[in-house]
Every structure is written in structure tokens, then in C-alpha cells.
Amino acid sequence: MPRKPKRKAPASPARHDTSPEPYPCHSSPSSAQCLAVRDALLVFHGFPEEFAPFRRLRLRLGGRSPNRDPRPQPLSPTVLDGLVITLLSQNTTDAISRRAFASLKAAFPSWDQVVDEEGKRLEDAILCGGLAATKAARIRAMLRDVRERRGKICLEYLRELSVDEVKKELSRFKGIGPKTVLRITKAMGWVPATASREKAYIHLNNKIPDDLKFDLNCLFVTHGKLCHSCTKKVGSDKSKSSNAACPLAGYCCIGEKLQKQ
């Protein structure tokens, strides 16, 4: 009699991060700390409008409805749109970066046109967002890299990858990185002061609950742009900056720690 084929064992779920914990003796942040800081930043800033569409999409995919408004909801943004918006949001306000993105899309109906255009039209289109030359160069380099590697300018494939794989893909693009989040989490004591970006990422990815990661990352980015206490550098004019209004001051004495860096 023919043998029955053996049943394959069900695949175990992929881990978000398979790297070893770099700071096993560093207990922070706890789940409770993460939740408290997320809620404090939400109360203070509200959820950043530039990331709100992606948050709604995540909640829908997770089976949770962010609102019960019966009216038709706007189309979900693409991964590439979100990445370009992130680049445009650096060193400016959310409102201004949204205007710059709208101006870019009006000037270039397709991403291929952005890559193929050799003049300064892209730079002119995003001029209102500041640092136009730098941002234009980074956007064009990113789009060109994607087209050369993938054959078309689209990043939707990232939705199917693990967290580690997405991080690896995005790290090839200049201007995309955890700089602001790293500075704030060091000041809060969530990672050691000597932590590198790579080790800080692994530690935080292991410690922060999955359902809080997206919110905290978006809120830290926004907070880093708006809070003088969290972004001031050593030697800056202390009279112009105060941590009195910082929603994180009560959690981590952030001002004092930053001054010691």
C-alpha cells in the first residue's frame, strides 16, 4: 500500500525580532511605562494628523474600528506616500509638510515623473516645507532606488514583511531613521545613555508592547519637533527653553538628563 504523506507541522509564528537582547539588565521600559507615556503624549498633542490615516488603516486591519462614522472614509494612503510625507515632515510642522506633499502631488501626477525630471521642479514644489534641496535629493534617490531594484516605484510589498525586514529595507534610504526617538528614549532612561541606534532599536522592540509601538513612534517624532526641552542641545540658551510644559517631565526628569549628555 502507498504510504500516506506526512502532515507538515504548522509553521510557528514569526518573531518580530530574533536578535538577542543587548541590555538584559536594563528593565525599562515596562508595559505600564509605555502606556502611561503614550497616553500622556496623546493628551498633550492629540494624534499627529500626518500619521492618522496609517493609524486608521492599522486599526482596521487589526479588526478594530477607529471610528464609527457612517460616511465614506478616505482611501488608505500607500506606503510610499507615507514615507515621502515622513521625509517632508522633518524640521517643519505637520501642517506645512502636508502642504508640501500636496504641492508635490499636484506638480507630479506620477512618481516616475519625479525620477525622470532633471531640473529643480521638485525642489520648487516642496519649497514651502523647508530644506527643499536636501529633501528633494533624498526623495528622488529613494524613488530611483526602488525603481531600479523592484522594476516599478511601489513599496506595498513592505506590508507583507516582518518588522526586521521592513527596517532593513527602509534603512537603505537616507533621511529615514530613529534619531529623534533615540534621543528622547535615552533621556527617559528607556535605553542606556551609551546605546547605539541599532541596539536601542532591538531593546525597545523587545520591551514595547506591539499595540503601542506605532503610536509611540509617531508621538515621539511629533514631540521631538515641538518640545524645546527634548530637543535643546548642550550650551543652548536655557532661558528660551523650559521643561515645565513638557508632558514627559514628570515621568523622567528629561530636562536634567539632557543637560548631562
Q: Is there a single domain that holds both residue 257 and residue 184?
A: yes
Q: Is residue 40 part of a domain?
A: yes
Percent of the chain with pLDDT over 90: 33
How many helices (H) and strands (E) would you count in the chain?
Answer: 14, 0
Query: Is 4 designated active site?
Result: no
Q: Is there a single domain that holds both residue 95 and residue 138?
A: yes
Q: What is the pLDDT of residue 150?
A: 93
3-class DSSP state of 36: helix
Q: What is the mean pLDDT of residues 175-199?
A: 82
Which of the residues 105, 179, 225, 260 is marked catalytic? 179
Out of 121, 154, 187, a domain closes at 154
Q: What is the pLDDT of residue 58?
A: 65
| Cβ(142)–Cβ(153) below 8 Å | no
Q: What is the pLDDT of residue 133?
A: 93
Averaging pLDDT over each range in 44-53, 217-226, 231-240, which range is the top one? 217-226
Q: What is the pLDDT of residue 22?
A: 92
Q: What is the pLDDT of residue 3?
A: 55
| Cβ(80)–Cβ(154) below 8 Å | yes
pLDDT greater than 60 at residue 68: no
Domain limits for position 118: 79-154
Q: How many residues does the chain have?
A: 261
How many domains, in total, are found in the chain?
2
Point out the least confidently predicted range of 22-26, 55-59, 150-154, 245-249: 55-59
Compute the mean pLDDT over every residue in the chain, rounded to the nearest whole number. 77
Q: Is residue 18 part of a domain?
A: no
Q: Is residue 114 part of a domain?
A: yes
- 61 phi and psi angles, rounded to 5 deg: -65, -25
Nearest by Cα to 260 from 193, 185, 180, 195: 193
Tell me the per-residue pLDDT of 111-148, one tens digit each, with 9 for 90 and over: 999 999 988 999 999 999 999 999 999 999 999 999 99
Nearest by Cα to 140 from 117, 118, 115, 119: 115
CATH code, domain with 115: 1.10.340.30
Q: Please, which pLDDT band fits residue 61 given cuts at 50, 70 and 90? A: low
pLDDT greater than 80 at residue 46: yes
